[in-house]
Chain A
Amino acid sequence: MSKEKPFPEYKRKLGPGWWLANSHFTQYMIREWTSFFVAVFSLIYIYELSLFASGARADALNLLKNPGVIAFNVLALLFTLYHAFTWFYLIGKVQPIKMGKTTSKPWQALLVNIVLLLIVSFAVIEILVLR
Protein backbone atom coordinates (compact mmCIF):
# COMPACT_ATOMS: atom_id res chain seq x y z
CA MET A 1 0.00 0.00 0.00
CA SER A 2 1.33 3.45 -0.88
CA LYS A 3 2.43 5.53 2.11
CA GLU A 4 1.69 8.75 0.24
CA LYS A 5 -0.95 10.85 1.97
CA PRO A 6 -4.03 11.73 -0.11
CA PHE A 7 -3.80 15.45 0.76
CA PRO A 8 -0.85 17.57 1.90
CA GLU A 9 -0.45 18.25 5.60
CA TYR A 10 0.30 21.82 6.60
CA LYS A 11 3.68 22.10 8.33
CA ARG A 12 4.36 25.16 10.45
CA LYS A 13 7.82 26.47 11.25
CA LEU A 14 8.86 28.28 14.40
CA GLY A 15 9.33 31.94 13.44
CA PRO A 16 12.23 34.09 14.72
CA GLY A 17 9.92 35.88 17.18
CA TRP A 18 8.70 32.71 18.95
CA TRP A 19 10.29 33.76 22.25
CA LEU A 20 8.11 36.89 22.41
CA ALA A 21 4.88 34.85 22.37
CA ASN A 22 5.05 34.01 26.05
CA SER A 23 6.68 35.73 29.06
CA HIS A 24 8.27 32.42 30.18
CA PHE A 25 9.95 32.07 26.78
CA THR A 26 11.20 35.66 27.00
CA GLN A 27 12.67 35.07 30.48
CA TYR A 28 14.32 31.90 29.19
CA MET A 29 15.88 33.71 26.22
CA ILE A 30 17.19 36.53 28.44
CA ARG A 31 18.91 33.84 30.51
CA GLU A 32 20.44 32.39 27.33
CA TRP A 33 21.67 35.85 26.25
CA THR A 34 23.60 36.29 29.49
CA SER A 35 26.27 34.06 27.94
CA PHE A 36 27.06 36.88 25.46
CA PHE A 37 27.78 39.33 28.31
CA VAL A 38 29.84 36.76 30.21
CA ALA A 39 31.88 36.00 27.08
CA VAL A 40 32.61 39.69 26.33
CA PHE A 41 33.43 40.35 30.01
CA SER A 42 35.89 37.44 29.95
CA LEU A 43 37.60 38.79 26.81
CA ILE A 44 37.99 42.26 28.39
CA TYR A 45 39.28 40.66 31.60
CA ILE A 46 41.85 38.52 29.73
CA TYR A 47 43.00 41.64 27.81
CA GLU A 48 43.40 43.57 31.10
CA LEU A 49 45.44 40.71 32.58
CA SER A 50 47.65 40.64 29.49
CA LEU A 51 48.28 44.42 29.88
CA PHE A 52 49.28 43.90 33.52
CA ALA A 53 51.48 40.94 32.58
CA SER A 54 53.28 42.91 29.85
CA GLY A 55 53.98 45.75 32.30
CA ALA A 56 51.51 48.24 30.79
CA ARG A 57 50.01 48.94 34.21
CA ALA A 58 48.86 52.49 33.36
CA ASP A 59 46.99 51.29 30.24
CA ALA A 60 45.36 48.52 32.25
CA LEU A 61 44.20 50.96 34.94
CA ASN A 62 42.93 53.41 32.32
CA LEU A 63 40.92 50.61 30.73
CA LEU A 64 39.46 49.70 34.13
CA LYS A 65 38.42 53.34 34.69
CA ASN A 66 36.92 53.75 31.21
CA PRO A 67 33.22 54.75 31.64
CA GLY A 68 32.20 52.46 28.78
CA VAL A 69 33.92 49.47 30.41
CA ILE A 70 32.39 50.32 33.82
CA ALA A 71 28.91 50.59 32.25
CA PHE A 72 29.41 47.28 30.47
CA ASN A 73 30.63 45.61 33.69
CA VAL A 74 27.51 46.81 35.55
CA LEU A 75 25.33 45.45 32.73
CA ALA A 76 27.25 42.14 32.71
CA LEU A 77 26.84 41.91 36.51
CA LEU A 78 23.06 42.42 36.25
CA PHE A 79 22.75 39.76 33.54
CA THR A 80 24.98 37.36 35.50
CA LEU A 81 22.89 37.85 38.65
CA TYR A 82 19.72 37.25 36.63
CA HIS A 83 21.27 34.04 35.28
CA ALA A 84 22.40 32.95 38.76
CA PHE A 85 19.07 33.66 40.47
CA THR A 86 16.98 31.92 37.79
CA TRP A 87 19.33 28.89 37.92
CA PHE A 88 19.19 28.79 41.73
CA TYR A 89 15.40 28.68 41.42
CA LEU A 90 15.61 25.91 38.81
CA ILE A 91 17.94 23.89 41.10
CA GLY A 92 15.10 23.86 43.63
CA LYS A 93 12.73 22.58 40.97
CA VAL A 94 15.07 19.93 39.62
CA GLN A 95 16.59 18.70 42.88
CA PRO A 96 13.96 19.11 45.62
CA ILE A 97 15.23 17.84 48.97
CA LYS A 98 13.00 15.57 51.03
CA MET A 99 12.93 16.44 54.73
CA GLY A 100 10.75 13.91 56.51
CA LYS A 101 7.28 14.29 55.06
CA THR A 102 7.89 17.66 53.43
CA THR A 103 9.82 18.49 50.28
CA SER A 104 11.82 21.68 49.79
CA LYS A 105 10.33 24.41 47.59
CA PRO A 106 12.22 26.14 44.73
CA TRP A 107 12.22 29.51 46.55
CA GLN A 108 14.01 27.86 49.49
CA ALA A 109 16.78 26.67 47.16
CA LEU A 110 16.95 30.21 45.72
CA LEU A 111 17.30 31.70 49.22
CA VAL A 112 19.95 29.21 50.40
CA ASN A 113 21.99 29.69 47.22
CA ILE A 114 21.81 33.51 47.44
CA VAL A 115 23.10 33.33 51.05
CA LEU A 116 25.92 30.98 49.93
CA LEU A 117 26.75 33.30 47.02
CA LEU A 118 26.99 36.29 49.40
CA ILE A 119 29.19 34.37 51.88
CA VAL A 120 31.58 33.16 49.14
CA SER A 121 31.67 36.60 47.47
CA PHE A 122 32.51 38.38 50.76
CA ALA A 123 35.14 35.72 51.57
CA VAL A 124 36.78 36.19 48.15
CA ILE A 125 36.75 40.01 48.53
CA GLU A 126 38.14 39.74 52.08
CA ILE A 127 40.92 37.28 51.20
CA LEU A 128 41.95 38.43 47.73
CA VAL A 129 41.14 42.15 47.66
CA LEU A 130 41.14 43.70 51.13
CA ARG A 131 44.15 41.84 52.55
Chain B
Amino acid sequence: MSQDIATIRVTRYRPEKDGKPYFQDYKVPYRKDMVVLDALNYIKAHLDGTLTYRWSCRMGVCGSCGANVDGVPKLTCASFLHEFKGRTIKVEPLTHFPVIKDLVVNMDDFMHKLVEIKPWIIREKESPPEEGEYRQSAEELERYDQFSSCINCMLCYSACPVYGLNEKFLGPAATALAYRYIEDSRDQGKAVRFPIVHEIEGVWECTLVGECSVVCPKGVDPMLAIQKTKILGATNALKSLVMPRGGGK
Protein backbone atom coordinates (compact mmCIF):
# COMPACT_ATOMS: atom_id res chain seq x y z
CA MET B 1 0.00 0.00 0.00
CA SER B 2 1.38 3.43 -0.96
CA GLN B 3 2.31 5.93 1.75
CA ASP B 4 2.10 9.73 1.72
CA ILE B 5 3.82 12.07 4.15
CA ALA B 6 1.77 14.31 6.45
CA THR B 7 3.18 17.29 8.30
CA ILE B 8 1.77 17.36 11.82
CA ARG B 9 2.20 20.65 13.70
CA VAL B 10 1.74 19.83 17.37
CA THR B 11 1.52 22.19 20.34
CA ARG B 12 4.35 21.52 22.76
CA TYR B 13 4.35 22.76 26.33
CA ARG B 14 6.74 21.39 28.90
CA PRO B 15 5.94 23.33 32.07
CA GLU B 16 9.30 22.54 33.66
CA LYS B 17 11.11 24.19 30.73
CA ASP B 18 8.79 26.34 28.61
CA GLY B 19 7.22 29.63 29.64
CA LYS B 20 4.53 29.22 27.01
CA PRO B 21 3.46 26.70 24.34
CA TYR B 22 5.06 26.56 20.90
CA PHE B 23 4.56 24.47 17.76
CA GLN B 24 6.75 21.61 16.62
CA ASP B 25 6.49 20.01 13.16
CA TYR B 26 6.80 16.28 12.52
CA LYS B 27 6.79 14.38 9.20
CA VAL B 28 4.67 11.26 9.43
CA PRO B 29 4.24 8.62 6.70
CA TYR B 30 0.59 7.58 6.48
CA ARG B 31 -1.86 5.30 4.72
CA LYS B 32 -5.46 6.06 3.84
CA ASP B 33 -6.81 4.29 6.93
CA MET B 34 -4.70 6.28 9.41
CA VAL B 35 -6.11 8.92 11.75
CA VAL B 36 -4.52 11.85 13.60
CA LEU B 37 -4.18 9.70 16.74
CA ASP B 38 -2.17 7.15 14.70
CA ALA B 39 0.13 10.00 13.66
CA LEU B 40 0.60 11.07 17.29
CA ASN B 41 1.36 7.45 18.24
CA TYR B 42 3.86 7.26 15.35
CA ILE B 43 5.58 10.45 16.59
CA LYS B 44 5.71 9.10 20.15
CA ALA B 45 7.10 5.71 19.03
CA HIS B 46 9.54 6.79 16.31
CA LEU B 47 10.30 10.51 16.42
CA ASP B 48 9.85 12.03 19.87
CA GLY B 49 9.05 9.98 22.96
CA THR B 50 8.44 13.11 25.04
CA LEU B 51 5.19 14.04 23.26
CA THR B 52 2.30 13.77 25.74
CA TYR B 53 -1.39 13.29 24.96
CA ARG B 54 -4.39 11.30 26.19
CA TRP B 55 -5.94 8.36 24.38
CA SER B 56 -7.46 4.99 25.12
CA CYS B 57 -9.99 3.15 22.97
CA ARG B 58 -9.12 4.35 19.42
CA MET B 59 -12.75 3.97 18.33
CA GLY B 60 -14.71 7.03 19.44
CA VAL B 61 -16.09 5.53 22.62
CA CYS B 62 -13.89 6.65 25.52
CA GLY B 63 -13.73 10.37 24.67
CA SER B 64 -10.10 10.67 25.81
CA CYS B 65 -8.34 11.80 22.63
CA GLY B 66 -10.08 15.13 21.98
CA ALA B 67 -7.92 17.92 20.57
CA ASN B 68 -8.27 20.91 18.28
CA VAL B 69 -7.48 19.56 14.83
CA ASP B 70 -7.04 22.38 12.31
CA GLY B 71 -8.78 24.69 14.77
CA VAL B 72 -11.85 22.48 15.29
CA PRO B 73 -12.45 20.35 18.40
CA LYS B 74 -12.40 16.73 17.24
CA LEU B 75 -11.62 13.22 18.44
CA THR B 76 -8.17 12.53 17.00
CA CYS B 77 -9.16 8.87 16.57
CA ALA B 78 -11.94 9.93 14.20
CA SER B 79 -10.01 12.47 12.09
CA PHE B 80 -8.50 10.84 9.00
CA LEU B 81 -5.15 12.17 7.82
CA HIS B 82 -6.07 11.91 4.13
CA GLU B 83 -8.82 14.53 4.67
CA PHE B 84 -6.05 17.11 5.21
CA LYS B 85 -3.94 16.02 2.24
CA GLY B 86 -1.47 18.67 1.11
CA ARG B 87 -1.94 20.77 4.25
CA THR B 88 -0.05 20.98 7.51
CA ILE B 89 -2.29 19.50 10.19
CA LYS B 90 -2.33 21.63 13.31
CA VAL B 91 -3.04 19.66 16.51
CA GLU B 92 -3.60 21.77 19.63
CA PRO B 93 -4.94 21.09 23.14
CA LEU B 94 -8.69 21.62 23.62
CA THR B 95 -9.44 25.34 23.89
CA HIS B 96 -10.55 26.99 27.18
CA PHE B 97 -8.90 24.39 29.46
CA PRO B 98 -5.56 24.99 31.22
CA VAL B 99 -2.73 23.03 29.58
CA ILE B 100 -0.83 20.64 31.83
CA LYS B 101 1.59 19.36 29.20
CA ASP B 102 1.61 19.32 25.36
CA LEU B 103 -1.94 18.18 24.42
CA VAL B 104 -3.03 17.24 27.93
CA VAL B 105 -5.48 19.65 29.57
CA ASN B 106 -6.72 19.93 33.14
CA MET B 107 -10.21 18.38 33.29
CA ASP B 108 -10.93 19.19 36.95
CA ASP B 109 -13.49 21.93 36.26
CA PHE B 110 -15.47 19.68 33.90
CA MET B 111 -15.37 16.76 36.33
CA HIS B 112 -16.68 18.96 39.17
CA LYS B 113 -19.53 20.15 36.96
CA LEU B 114 -20.47 16.58 36.05
CA VAL B 115 -20.70 15.62 39.71
CA GLU B 116 -22.54 18.84 40.57
CA ILE B 117 -25.60 17.93 38.46
CA LYS B 118 -25.88 14.53 40.24
CA PRO B 119 -25.73 12.22 37.21
CA TRP B 120 -27.64 9.32 38.67
CA ILE B 121 -31.30 8.41 39.16
CA ILE B 122 -32.66 10.05 42.30
CA ARG B 123 -35.69 8.39 43.94
CA GLU B 124 -37.75 9.85 46.75
CA LYS B 125 -38.06 6.31 48.06
CA GLU B 126 -36.17 3.32 46.66
CA SER B 127 -38.32 0.26 45.89
CA PRO B 128 -37.00 -3.05 47.22
CA PRO B 129 -35.20 -5.14 44.54
CA GLU B 130 -37.85 -7.89 44.70
CA GLU B 131 -40.38 -5.44 43.23
CA GLY B 132 -38.33 -5.48 40.04
CA GLU B 133 -36.93 -2.78 37.82
CA TYR B 134 -38.50 0.63 37.23
CA ARG B 135 -40.38 0.09 33.96
CA GLN B 136 -40.23 2.57 31.13
CA SER B 137 -41.97 2.74 27.74
CA ALA B 138 -40.17 3.25 24.42
CA GLU B 139 -41.66 6.77 24.20
CA GLU B 140 -40.36 7.63 27.67
CA LEU B 141 -36.90 6.37 26.70
CA GLU B 142 -36.95 8.40 23.50
CA ARG B 143 -37.37 11.64 25.46
CA TYR B 144 -33.82 11.47 26.85
CA ASP B 145 -32.11 8.75 24.81
CA GLN B 146 -29.81 10.93 22.66
CA PHE B 147 -28.57 12.83 25.73
CA SER B 148 -27.35 9.60 27.33
CA SER B 149 -24.87 9.08 24.44
CA CYS B 150 -22.44 11.71 25.76
CA ILE B 151 -18.90 10.33 26.14
CA ASN B 152 -17.56 13.28 28.19
CA CYS B 153 -14.99 14.16 25.54
CA MET B 154 -15.30 17.90 26.35
CA LEU B 155 -15.29 18.92 22.67
CA CYS B 156 -18.49 20.92 23.31
CA TYR B 157 -16.77 22.94 26.04
CA SER B 158 -13.84 23.61 23.76
CA ALA B 159 -16.27 24.86 21.08
CA CYS B 160 -18.27 27.07 23.45
CA PRO B 161 -17.13 30.73 23.56
CA VAL B 162 -19.49 31.37 26.49
CA TYR B 163 -17.50 28.87 28.58
CA GLY B 164 -14.30 30.48 27.25
CA LEU B 165 -15.45 33.85 28.57
CA ASN B 166 -16.89 32.58 31.85
CA GLU B 167 -15.60 29.31 33.23
CA LYS B 168 -18.34 29.32 35.89
CA PHE B 169 -20.87 28.52 33.15
CA LEU B 170 -22.23 25.01 33.75
CA GLY B 171 -21.71 24.30 30.06
CA PRO B 172 -23.11 22.01 27.37
CA ALA B 173 -22.28 18.42 28.40
CA ALA B 174 -23.16 18.82 32.08
CA THR B 175 -26.50 20.44 31.19
CA ALA B 176 -27.25 17.76 28.58
CA LEU B 177 -26.61 15.13 31.24
CA ALA B 178 -28.77 16.98 33.78
CA TYR B 179 -31.57 17.16 31.20
CA ARG B 180 -31.11 13.45 30.50
CA TYR B 181 -32.06 12.75 34.14
CA ILE B 182 -34.72 15.48 34.35
CA GLU B 183 -36.51 13.85 31.40
CA ASP B 184 -36.07 10.28 32.69
CA SER B 185 -39.47 9.00 33.86
CA ARG B 186 -37.76 6.94 36.59
CA ASP B 187 -36.05 9.96 38.12
CA GLN B 188 -37.60 12.05 40.91
CA GLY B 189 -34.77 14.54 41.41
CA LYS B 190 -36.13 17.60 39.60
CA ALA B 191 -36.33 19.60 42.83
CA VAL B 192 -32.65 18.87 43.49
CA ARG B 193 -31.34 19.54 39.97
CA PHE B 194 -33.47 22.54 39.00
CA PRO B 195 -31.76 25.00 41.38
CA ILE B 196 -28.36 23.87 40.00
CA VAL B 197 -29.17 24.20 36.29
CA HIS B 198 -31.20 27.39 36.77
CA GLU B 199 -28.50 29.35 38.57
CA ILE B 200 -27.33 32.50 36.79
CA GLU B 201 -24.32 30.58 35.50
CA GLY B 202 -26.47 27.58 34.62
CA VAL B 203 -28.55 27.40 31.46
CA TRP B 204 -29.35 31.13 31.41
CA GLU B 205 -25.74 31.98 30.61
CA CYS B 206 -26.10 30.22 27.23
CA THR B 207 -26.60 32.69 24.37
CA LEU B 208 -27.39 30.08 21.71
CA VAL B 209 -24.15 29.99 19.76
CA GLY B 210 -24.91 26.34 18.92
CA GLU B 211 -21.37 25.19 18.16
CA CYS B 212 -21.53 22.59 20.96
CA SER B 213 -24.05 20.58 18.94
CA VAL B 214 -22.04 20.97 15.72
CA VAL B 215 -18.85 19.45 17.14
CA CYS B 216 -20.39 16.60 19.19
CA PRO B 217 -18.98 13.33 17.80
CA LYS B 218 -21.91 11.28 19.15
CA GLY B 219 -24.81 13.28 17.71
CA VAL B 220 -25.88 14.67 21.07
CA ASP B 221 -27.53 18.10 20.85
CA PRO B 222 -26.53 19.95 24.05
CA MET B 223 -27.91 23.22 22.68
CA LEU B 224 -31.35 21.58 22.51
CA ALA B 225 -30.99 20.26 26.08
CA ILE B 226 -30.07 23.72 27.36
CA GLN B 227 -33.01 25.41 25.63
CA LYS B 228 -35.43 22.66 26.76
CA THR B 229 -34.18 23.14 30.32
CA LYS B 230 -34.78 26.90 30.00
CA ILE B 231 -38.34 26.23 28.78
CA LEU B 232 -39.00 23.80 31.66
CA GLY B 233 -37.66 26.33 34.18
CA ALA B 234 -39.67 29.21 32.75
CA THR B 235 -42.86 27.08 32.66
CA ASN B 236 -42.29 26.02 36.26
CA ALA B 237 -41.71 29.61 37.39
CA LEU B 238 -44.93 30.68 35.67
CA LYS B 239 -46.87 27.81 37.26
CA SER B 240 -45.50 28.76 40.69
CA LEU B 241 -46.68 32.32 40.11
CA VAL B 242 -50.18 31.34 38.98
CA MET B 243 -50.59 28.41 41.37
CA PRO B 244 -48.35 29.18 44.39
CA ARG B 245 -49.50 26.02 46.20
CA GLY B 246 -47.55 23.40 44.34
CA GLY B 247 -48.09 24.61 40.78
CA GLY B 248 -44.41 24.74 40.00
CA LYS B 249 -43.65 21.14 40.89
> B248 an interface residue at 8 Å Cβ cutoff?
no
B188-219, CB under 8 A of A: which get 1 and which 0? 00000000000000000001111100100000
A residues near B15, Cβ cutoff 8 Å: 7-10
A residues near B228, Cβ cutoff 8 Å: 94
A residues near B164, Cβ cutoff 8 Å: 14, 18
Residue in chain A with minimal CB distance to B213: A93
> B165 an interface residue at 8 Å Cβ cutoff?
yes
**Which of A19-27, A46-54, A107-115 is the contact stretch?**
A19-27
Tell whether A22 pairs with B208 under 8 Å between CB atoms, given A9-B100, A93-B224, A94-B228: no
> A45 an interface residue at 8 Å Cβ cutoff?
no
B90-119, CB under 8 A of A: which get 1 and which 0? 000001101110000010000000000000
B residues near A12, Cβ cutoff 8 Å: 95-96, 98-99
Task: Provide the bound-state CA to CA distance between A95 and B53, in Å.
Answer: 39
> A44 an interface residue at 8 Å Cβ cutoff?
no
> B60 an interface residue at 8 Å Cβ cutoff?
no
Contact A21 B106 (CB under 8 A): no
> A72 an interface residue at 8 Å Cβ cutoff?
no
Q: CB < 8 Å: which of A14, A94, A95 contacts B161?
A: A14
Task: Provide the bound-state CA to CA distance between A9 and B100, in Å.
Answer: 5
Tell whether A22 pairs with B211 under 8 Å between CB atoms, given A9-B106, A10-B15: yes
Task: Provide the bound-state CA to CA distance between A28 and B210, in Å.
Answer: 9
Minimum Cβ distance to chain B for residue A85 (Å): 14
> A11 an interface residue at 8 Å Cβ cutoff?
yes
Task: Provide the bound-state CA to CA distance between A19 and B160, in Å.
Answer: 11
Minimum Cβ distance to chain B for residue A45 (Å): 26
Contact B223 A10 (CB under 8 A): no
> A90 an interface residue at 8 Å Cβ cutoff?
yes
Contact A25 B161 (CB under 8 A): yes
Task: Provide the bound-state CA to CA distance between A10 and B98, in Å.
Answer: 5
Residue in chain B with minimal CB distance to A13: B164
Contact B209 A28 (CB under 8 A): yes
Residue in chain A with minimal CB distance to B72: A22
B residues near A22, Cβ cutoff 8 Å: 71-72, 211
Residue in chain B with minimal CB distance to A14: B164
- Give the most central of A8, A12, A21, A93: most B CB within 10 Å: A12
A residues near B211, Cβ cutoff 8 Å: 22, 24-25
Q: CB < 8 Å: which of B165, B208, B209, B227 contacts A14?
A: B165
B residues near A21, Cβ cutoff 8 Å: 71
